[in-house]
Amino acid sequence: MNLRDALIDWDDPTDEGSNTAHVVEHGLTPDEVESALFEDDTTFDLSDSSGRPIAFGTTITGRYIAVVFEILNLADPLILRPITAYEVPEPKD
């Protein structure tokens, strides 16, 4: 299964506590989050604080971000639900 084929689960941004609103609170857009998740050079790990999957990648606007997410469905279609996303320093080579 290709991550690029994943569906992204976003809440209505007007819903209190929505994942969309939470991302916006960190100065990001859903499009930026999705672009960082789907980049070829995106790396994946587990979050030290939550134990959830975390992705590190570059957005369509050139910002380097971390995206903490849940996997809602591993079968076809793969469904990912961003929990939070925020800008982080880009790793040094």
Inside any domain, residue 61: yes
Inside any domain, residue 92: no
Over the stretch 39-66, which tens digit does the pLDDT of each residue have?
Answer: 988 999 999 999 999 999 999 999 999 9
What pLDDT sits at residue 28?
Answer: 96
Number of structural domains the chain divides into: 1
Whole-number Cα distances in Å, 72 to 12, 23, 29, 59, 75: 17, 18, 21, 23, 9
If pLDDT is split at 50, 70 and 90, which confidence band does 87 have? Answer: very high
Inside any domain, residue 93: no
Inside any domain, residue 73: yes
Inside any domain, residue 28: yes
